Amino acid sequence: MVTTETEIIINNAASVNFNDRLDIAIKINTLGPLNLINIAKDCHRLEICTHVSTCYVNCNKPDGFVEEKIYEDIDFDVETFVKNILSMSEKEVLEKQEKLIGTFPNTYTFTKNLGERLIR
């Protein structure tokens, strides 16, 4: 029914627990939008598919001014990064999480940023 009748998809879902464990936040905030886009591709009557961002995806910018764009400042392949994180044990993720999110203040902002990169 979803693929035969859906005309509009608006994605504004996320886990707003700012400190979810990184692998959990990735499954929700990074892969969630990508999964929805994959469903949208099969919707025969789809007219609009939109993704609602958050003003915090680029909160790691040091000068305080943030443009409405996807910055090209992550120097790794997001898909490979996600696969690597999801292959780690819970203990490994917790041990490496702070280093992995880099200049982002929490897993929410980091994984929302990754999600935008994947859907782009």
pLDDT tens for the chain, 120 residues long, are 999 999 999 998 889 899 999 999 999 999 999 899 999 999 999 999 998 888 788 888 877 788 888 888 888 899 999 999 999 999 999 999 999 999 999 999 999 999 999 888
Query: What pLDDT does residue 2 have?
Result: 94
Q: What is the C-alpha separation between 120 and 52, in angstroms, rounded?
A: 13
Whole-number Å distance between alpha carbons of 44 and 106: 38
Q: At what angle do helices 90-101 and 107-119 cross, to 10 degrees?
A: 80
* Pairwise CA distance, residues 91 & 74, whole Å: 25
Check: CB of residue 29 under 8 Å from CB of residue 108. yes
Domain range summary for the chain, segments of one domain joined by +? 2-119
